[in-house]
Amino acid sequence: MDSFEYRDDVLYGEDVALSRVTEQYGTPTYVYSRETLERHYLAYANALGEHPGMICYAVKANSNIAVLNLLARLGSGFDIVSQGELERVIRAGGDPSRVVFSGVAKQPAEIRRALELGIHCFNAESDAELDRINAVAGDMGKVAPISLRVNPDVDANTHPYISTGLKENKFGISIDQALAVYQRAASLPNLEVVGLDCHIGSQLTELTPFIDALDRLLVLVDQLADNGINLKHLDLGGGLGVCYADEEPPLPSAYMEAVLSKLGNRQLELIMEPGRSIAANAGVLLTRVEFLKPTEHKNFAIIDAAMNDLIRPSLYSAYQDIIPLKIDASREQLSWDLVGPVCETGDFLGKDRQLGLEPGDLLAVCSSGAYGFTMSSNYNSRNRAAEVMVDGDSIHLIRQREDFEHQIRGEQLLPNDSK
C-alpha cells in the first residue's frame, strides 16, 4: 500500500497533486512519500515487536539524507556497503552503533572510519577480509565486532542479477566451510565474533527460500554453539519483494512471524536489512512526454526521463507501471514504447504500454523509490534528476536538480604545454 492515488482523475502523492511538483521543480523529478516510507519501516519494526534486534534499512535502495533522517528519527538502524553510505547515515543523524557494514571488499580506510565511529558489526565475506579487519583493528588497538556472511546455497527464484545466495555467486562464505572460518575468526586477536549474516537475493515474492536459508543457518548456529562459539545475533539480510505489477509478496509481519517461530528459544537478536520493501513503492519518477513518434512498426513516446535516471528497465528488463498525472478518458488508447533521449536502443522505461498520450503530457513511473535515483548516472552528460518529498500537503525539495557545474566538478583540462 502506498500514498499515491487518483482523486477525481488527478494523481496525488499524499495531499499533493503531483502536477504541483512539476510546476515547481520541472521533470524528471523523483517524488517520495514520507507517510509511506514511515509506514513501511514501522511494518518491520512492529513485527519485530519486543524481540531484541534491529531493522537496518539498506541504504543502497535510496540514500537521500532526508530519507535516512526520517528513518533514523523512527529508530532505524542502517545496512551500509561503503564509507559514502556511512557518512550519509551520520549526516542524516543516524546512530553508528546501529549500523552493520556489508559488502565483499571493504577498504582499510573504510574499516578504520567504521571502527572510529563504533558501528554495530562488520559483515565479513571472506577469510582475506577477516585478516584485513583484524589488521586495521589491531593498528587502532581495537577489537572489531564481526559477523560472517554465509552463503546457504538456496535459489531465491528471482532475477539472476539480483540473486546472491547460490554457490556460484561471489557473495559470502560457503556454508560447508563456515565452521572452519568461524574458528579461525575466533582465534584472531582483534576480532570478536558476534553474529551470522546472510542475504540470498532481492525481490523475493515467496517465503520458502528465506525459510530454507534460515533452516540451514540455524543448523550452523547450533553447530557453532557446540564448538564454543556463541553468537549474539542473526542477520537475515533484505530481499522481501514488492508489487511492481501483480506480484503478491508476503508482508513483513508474515515473514517475521515465521522467523521468530523458527528461532525457538535460541537467545538470538534478530537483524533484518530491508531496502526495496521500504522505499520502492514510496516513490515515483515524474516525466514529461517530449514527442510522439509513431512508426510503421512501433509507436514511440519520447519522454524526458531516460536510462540514466532509472536503469532498472534497461538493466533487468524490469517492469514498472507508467501512469498519467491526469486521466483523460476521452483519449484514444494506443500501445506505446516509452523511450528516453539517451543514444542507446536499450534506453526505455516501458514497452507496449496502453496509454492515451499527447506531447507535453506528464507521467509517473511507479515504484521508483528504491534503486532509482541511487543507480542513476550522468550518462550522455545529463544532469541528474531533482528529488522531492511530499508530506501531507507540503512539498520539500530534498535534492536540487544537478546543473552543469555540479556535473563537471573535479574535472580539469591538461596544462597548455602538455604533450
Q: Residues comprising the binding site for substrate?
A: 276, 312, 316, 344, 371
Quote the cell numbers at residue 93.
543523524
- Provide the minimum distance between the beta carbon of 62 and ligand LLP in the complex, in angstroms, as a whole number: 10
Catalytic annotation on 343? Answer: yes
Give the phi and the psi of residue 124 in degrees, each rounded to 5: -85, 145
- Provide the minimum distance between the beta carbon of 371 and ligand LLP in the complex, in angstroms, as a whole number: 3
Question: Given candidates 106, 216, 233, 312, which one binds ligand LLP under the rule CB under 6 A?
Answer: 312
Catalytic residue among 198, 243, 343, 366: 343
- Closest to ligand LLP by CB, 72 vs 289, is 72
Rounded to whole angstroms, the Cα distance separating 179 from 201 reads: 23
Q: In what order do the strands lie in the sheet with 16-17?
A: 4-7, 10-13, 16-17
Q: Is 275 a binder of ligand LLP (CB under 6 A)?
A: yes
Position 145, amino acid: P
**Residues 275 and 58 sit within 8 Å (Cβ to Cβ):** yes
Rounded to whole angstroms, the Cα distance separating 125 from 102 reads: 8
Q: Is 58 a binder of ligand LLP (CB under 6 A)?
A: yes
Binding mask of the shown chain, residues 99 to 118, with x at each position contacting ligand LLP by CB under 6 A:
---x----------------
- Closest to ligand LLP by CB, 58 vs 231, is 58
* Residue least distant from ligand LLP (Cβ): 238
**For the chain, what is the largest distance between any 2 Cα atoms, rounded to a whole number of angstroms?**
73
**Residues 77 and 95 sit within 8 Å (Cβ to Cβ):** yes
- Provide the minimum distance between the beta carbon of 415 and ligand LLP in the complex, in angstroms, as a whole number: 40
**Residues 196 and 268 sit within 8 Å (Cβ to Cβ):** no
DSSP secondary structure of 20-51: HHHHHH-SSEEEEEHHHHHHHHHHHHHHHTTS
Which single residue is written with the C-alpha cell 582499510? 108
CB under 8 Å to 108, separation ≥6 — which residues?
132, 135, 136
- Closest to ligand LLP by CB, 274 vs 324, is 274
Q: Is 148 a binder of ligand LLP (CB under 6 A)?
A: no
Tell me the β-bridge partners of 174: 151
- Closest to ligand LLP by CB, 36 vs 102, is 102
Interaction residues for ligand LLP, span 352-381 (CB under 6 A): 371
**Residues 40 and 47 sit within 8 Å (Cβ to Cβ):** no
Q: Is 350 a binder of ligand LLP (CB under 6 A)?
A: no
Q: Is 238 a binder of ligand LLP (CB under 6 A)?
A: yes
- Binding-site residues for pyridoxal 5'-phosphate: 239, 273-276, 371
- Provide the minimum distance between the beta carbon of 42 and ligand LLP in the complex, in angstroms, as a whole number: 16
Residue span binding ligand LLP (CB under 6 A) among the ranges 113-121, 187-195, 222-230, 269-277: 269-277
DSSP-derived pairing of the beta strands 191-197 and 233-235: parallel
Binding mask of the shown chain, residues 64 to 103, with x at each position contacting ligand LLP by CB under 6 A:
---------------x----------------------x-
Helix or strand holding residue 311 (H, E)? none
User: Which active-site residues does the annotation give?
Assistant: 343
What does the binding site for ligand LLP look like in residue numbers (CB under 6 A)? 58, 61, 79, 102, 162, 199, 202-203, 237-240, 273-277, 312, 316, 371
